[in-house]
Chains A and B, each alone.
Chain A
Amino acid sequence: MYAFTHHAATSVADAVSSVGEGKFLAGGHTLIPTMKQRLAMPGHLVDLNKVAELKGISDNGSVLTVKAMSRHAEVADSDVVTKAIPGLAALAGGIGDPQVRHRGTIGGSIANNDPVADYPAGCLALGATIVTNKRRVAADDFFQGLFTTALEDGELITAVEFPHADKFAYVKFRNPASLYALVGVAVARRGSDVRVAVTGAGSDGVFRWKEAEAALAGNFSAGALDGLKVSAAGLNGDIHGSAEYRAHLIGVMAKRAVAAA
């Protein structure tokens, strides 16, 4: 590791005013290894781990609010989340391994927008709102491609709001080596409004599968997806799965998510 300065922020205002050209440090599971490899070399880190106002999970009966520094394990084990959107607790409980879940945070995950991360699919399918220190951004506008989001320099995610859904589930097919999602599909239904989001497969990050949404809107069952094919164009391919295999798995995982929802 190289030398850098570290500031343990005490509030959102303190964090935002002190970040300058530096980076916010949440769980650090992506940022720290990246710094060790010198793929990113910020000279200054603003540590969010002691900012009390970035922690906590609450629900008002129609919207679940998860503050940005909530660890994956906290979301997975939260009675509030389990009661409001049980599939979201299950999603968080399936991220990485126990060490990752006790360190990684929802804010860090979606700010990074890794194309194989689980949370972006959950946010997109549930139509979440990303709340920052400056504004509120719909998930559809927030995720803008590979490791790219609507966040501006120095802008800090403070919470994610998830409107309740009638049904929600996330099912993933793990990369056998890394155990990241080779393909992950989140499905949410509110009345006849169905949203299907796919992570892991897209070469430009998380995306919505509109054809499946249309098919499921009138008939929310796994059978409604029969015969629906995903094009392999624009999908990732590697030694663990060609684009064609991933395209096929999107259909399989989507059906399983509908069945699980």
Chain B
Amino acid sequence: MSSRLGIPIDNVSIVHGDTDKVQMGMGTYGSRSGAVGMAAISKALDKIEAKAKKVAAHVLEASEGDIEFKDGKFTVKGTDKAADFGSIALQAYIAHKFNGQELEPGLKESAFWDPTNFTFPAGVHICELEIDPATGVVTIDRWTAVDDFGNVINPLIVEGQVHGGIAQGVGQALLEGAVYDAEGQLITASYMDYTMPRAQDLPSYNVGMTVTACPSNPLGIKGCGEAGAIASPPAVINAITNALGHENITMPATSEKVWRAVQSSAHKQAAE
């Protein structure tokens, strides 16, 4: 919004999850918040720009078709007449100064957006790990991931989502599991028993991106929130089964399970 309207980022207020502001929505799922929500914002900004051009035409005394908007400035084609976004926004609310009854005052718009298709982010995650055959302990040595999320709005946040997703997926693959006893009592009811992944369980990630604009939304963006969490469990388990030489292992691949799986590993038998 800042770059689209040419206004400082500090002038943009972000309101999270307020149903008083957004009357209708379907929540966040399928990594759709960015692709759907930001497309709706983009559509609303189209309306803002169109309305602001009408205001600018009055203020700059030109015909609406001659108004151009670029880098936060309204200009009249072929002249040096100009006004910035802020002053036009103010004029929109004090319309009595220039406007008869032709234009409704105000510069407030909303837009709804229902995408024509899903977004299809794609990527490859490569997990390299070592198994200590004596204990079954799995150590992840290296993680290389390249994802295509289309156009990226905030690279820092997107990369952070990938990092967190990988950690969550590694937890699912190696450590986490809700366990109940025979009476139905949850045994893993605290972090003394439920194993969350810790920093020491994870390597430094090597994360990259390619950009292929998504055709099904105006910003060309794709979902990124689930990519790391979806890619990482199969990457970890494939690496383990590759090391073992067989596929007889279930998640979470705890050290005891891996140790037992090593006993029937052809690689181990070959080594002996």
Q: Could you tell me which A residues sit within 8 Å of B by CB distance?
A: 173, 176-178, 239-242, 245, 248-249, 252
Contacts and interface: CB of A to CB of B under 8 A. Distances in A.
Given A239-B179, A239-B187, A252-B135, A176 B255 contact: yes
29 contacts: A173-B135, A176-B175, A176-B195, A176-B255, A177-B175, A177-B188, A177-B191, A177-B192, A177-B193, A177-B194, A177-B195, A177-B196, A178-B191, A178-B192, A178-B193, A239-B179, A239-B187, A239-B188, A240-B195, A240-B256, A241-B255, A241-B256, A242-B256, A245-B256, A245-B259, A248-B259, A249-B135, A252-B134, A252-B135
Contact of B254 (A173, A240, A248, A252): A240
Interface of B: 134-135, 175, 179, 187-188, 191-196, 254-256, 259
Contacts of A173: 135
A179 B237 CA distance: 24
Contacts of A242: 256
Contacts, number: 33
Contacts of B194: 177
Given A177-B195, A241-B256, A252-B134, 14 more contacts: A176-B175, A176-B195, A176-B255, A177-B194, A177-B196, A178-B192, A239-B193, A240-B254, A240-B256, A242-B256, A245-B259, A248-B259, A249-B135, A252-B135
Nearest to A239: B179
Nearest to B195: A177
Interface of B: prevailing SS: loop
A187 to B, nearest CB: 17
B134 to A, nearest CB: 5
Contacts of A248: 259
Contacts of B192: 177-178
A224 B256 CA distance: 25
A237 to B, nearest CB: 10
A205 B254 CA distance: 24
A178 to B, nearest CB: 4
A212 B135 CA distance: 19
A98 B242 CA distance: 38
Contacts of A178: 191-193
A239 B176 CA distance: 11
A222 to B, nearest CB: 11
A176 B136 CA distance: 12
Nearest to A249: B135
Nearest to B137: A173
A249 B255 CA distance: 11
A2 to B, nearest CB: 22
Contacts of A245: 256, 259
A176 B188 CA distance: 13
Nearest to A176: B195
